[in-house]
Chain A
Amino acid sequence: MSKRLFGLLLVLPALAVIVLLFIVPLAASVIGAFEVTGAYGLGNFVKAFELYRNDTIFTVLIVSLSTVLIGLFSIAIGGYLTLGENPRAVAILRWLYRWPMFIPFIVVGQILRTFLAKNGLMNNLLINAGVITPLQATAFLDWRGIVIAFVWKQVPFVALLVAGAMASIDRGTIEAARNLGASRLRILIEIVVPQIATTLLVGLILSFVTMMSVLSVPLMVNAQSPTMLTADIAFRINAYGDYGVANALGLISLVITSGVAWIYLRHTMKERA
């Protein structure tokens, strides 16, 4: 047996798994998006556009806003872990910040549903602390709830990556800047962040894609309309048994995520080259 054939044989099981369990279902879903009662056409997309245009825009806005906030918070956490001067505060932060990473999205939804409600824990605390009066209390169970859930859950993940990257940069540059009298904020923005930008970007892209696929949070936290595409896909299948439009919506979110995936691929290619 030639060496080449043998190599092919070795890779075959893995390849078969990928083709059968990943490529085939994906292709079926993409083809299904164009199927309209037996024939092929764009009917599903027309309906998806007509009914879920606002939801698509909403989804992109919510996920983008969350991504930006995740970036800011994880830089803040990573920055404090690297540049913080109070060892006890750094230790506490290091111990605390990772917790949400191990909590599934559905539990996040369930926690926030009671926390953010009008008479929920958050408002009760604020009222007892005298920050707001009972009449001013409003529920955060709308788009704000989704953003809070996403940020709360994804910040630790990105912060972990960012903090790791920050810890491995050359301390010399930081010390030099500090000797020259730069403030910590300035060091963070001008020296540290540019050096870990790639890691940050990768973390944010992975978060973006994860958030695009979350169903439990919009279902549990956001009762309002517009809602996220995942909730619409579930609704299309559950209420109408309509896989066509559901597939079309799936393809639309796939197009959105492939936008960021493209940035990711370009970066990894550049790194390898």
Chain B
Amino acid sequence: MKTILQATLALGLVASPAKAAELTVLTAGDQNMVDYINDYLGPLFEKENPGNTVRVVGTGPGDAGSQKITERFKAQADAGSEKWDTDVAVVHEKFAGPMVTAGYLEAYRPKIDTGKMVTRANADMALGSNVSGYVMPMFNSQTAIAYNPAMVPNPPKSYDELVAWAKEHPKQFGYNGIKGGASGVSFVMGWIYAYGEGDAKKLMNGPFDEAETKKWDKAFASLKEFTTNATLTPGNAGTLDMLSRGEIAMGPVWVDMFYSWQADGRLPPELKLVLPAPGMPGQPMHYVIPAKSANEALAEKFVALATSPEVQADGIVKKFNWYPGIDAEFVKPKLDEATWNKLFVDISPEDLAKYGKPFPIAPYNKAILEAYERQTAN
């Protein structure tokens, strides 16, 4: 926070010369998102566009951060402001669709060179909403089960094996419920994909059908039973904490967080990852440009830089262990083999293609969370 304040103050002082624009970037997500733009992307952009400055504002982790950005756009749209105070925003997948529907965003993807390098389906359909042209993925992240090989010599290959293992080893599996971060949410969504009696594809692609929500009772009852045998951890970081202290042997985590913690020495190096069948969800973070940005051309330049193969290789994959936002084929030549392989040590590209799932579309997402609160947590 202090560095943001200082940076804002410093930027405010240097940004005064005439003609120089100040690009305001809002980002949802943890502090690492702010650090990424402050320490890496911003300086890079300022070097390539002399005289202009980048100001970054973090709005907080999780959906709450994106919710704040949405509310900010809504307030300015309702007030009829000619020029908005945001040039670029980084938001969670769930919020891209509603922003497009409300008309807050500019369709800028066809206008920038890197637009053609995006191949993943989630750049066109964000949880059931068509966002084609409006978003550029900053990166893709994935959840997986982290485990301690000393305590789990044969990691479970599927949810079924996981359930059987957890039964034999009470309290050794830990997850953070649904209120303490998205790795727990992702585990629950994977559970419904595996055991919900409806069609998991429909949950991911829509359309929303009320009848579908009635098919989960058995899955939630079994999840409740499973949860009594599991340990509930306080948050995404809480799961990693407990894994590192050896209090649990397995738990769902974000892949990028896992590798970053391991690189920092906060997790024992011997811990490993496995992505069980039928799969767990992951999600991208999206760059969006508001329809009434004051520095439209500059904002487009910023996103083009951020999604260029060089930045994706050096910043996204190498520094943060995220999966690239644009097609990996463009990123791979820019990386040394060791870095590239590191990302796919435990989870092979084939695993990722087979078991890396999107989150359910927004109305199902909401229905599953509420059903969990009603049937499993109560």
Contact = CB atoms under 8 A, between A and B. Distances in A.
Interface of A: 50-51, 53-54, 113, 117-119, 139, 141, 219-227, 231, 234-235, 237-241
Contacts of A51: 370, 373-374, 378
A111 B262 CA distance: 23
B179 A231 contact: yes
Interface in B237-255: 238, 241-242, 245-247
Nearest to B184: A223
Interface residues of B, number: 27
Nearest to A114: B241
Nearest to A139: B247
B63 A239 contact: yes
Of A226, A231, A235, A241, the most chain B CB neighbours within 10 A belong to A241
* A interface, over-half SS: helix
B377 interface: yes
A145 B284 CA distance: 35
B70 to A, nearest CB: 8
A222 to B, nearest CB: 7
6 contacts: A53-B378, A118-B242, A119-B246, A119-B247, A220-B234, A231-B179
Interface in B65-117: 67, 70
Contact of A118 (B178, B245, B366, B374): B245
Contact of A239 (B232, B238, B245, B369): B369
B378 A118 contact: no
Given A51-B378, A223-B234, 13 more contacts: A113-B234, A219-B235, A220-B235, A223-B180, A223-B232, A225-B177, A225-B232, A237-B64, A238-B62, A239-B179, A239-B366, A239-B369, A240-B370
Interface in B245-304: 245-247
B232 A224 contact: yes
Contact of B234 (A54, A118, A222, A226): A222
Contact of B177 (A117, A118, A141, A223): A223
A149 to B, nearest CB: 13
A216 to B, nearest CB: 11
B176 interface: yes
B234 A221 contact: yes
Interface string B216-247: 00000000000000001111001001100111
B219 to A, nearest CB: 18
Nearest to A50: B374
Interface in B167-189: 176-180
A211 B373 CA distance: 24
Contact of B378 (A54, A224, A234): A54
Contacts of A235: 179
Contacts of B366: 239-240
Nearest to A141: B234
Nearest to A142: B232
Given A117-B245, A139-B247, A240-B366, A225 B377 contact: yes
Nearest to B61: A238
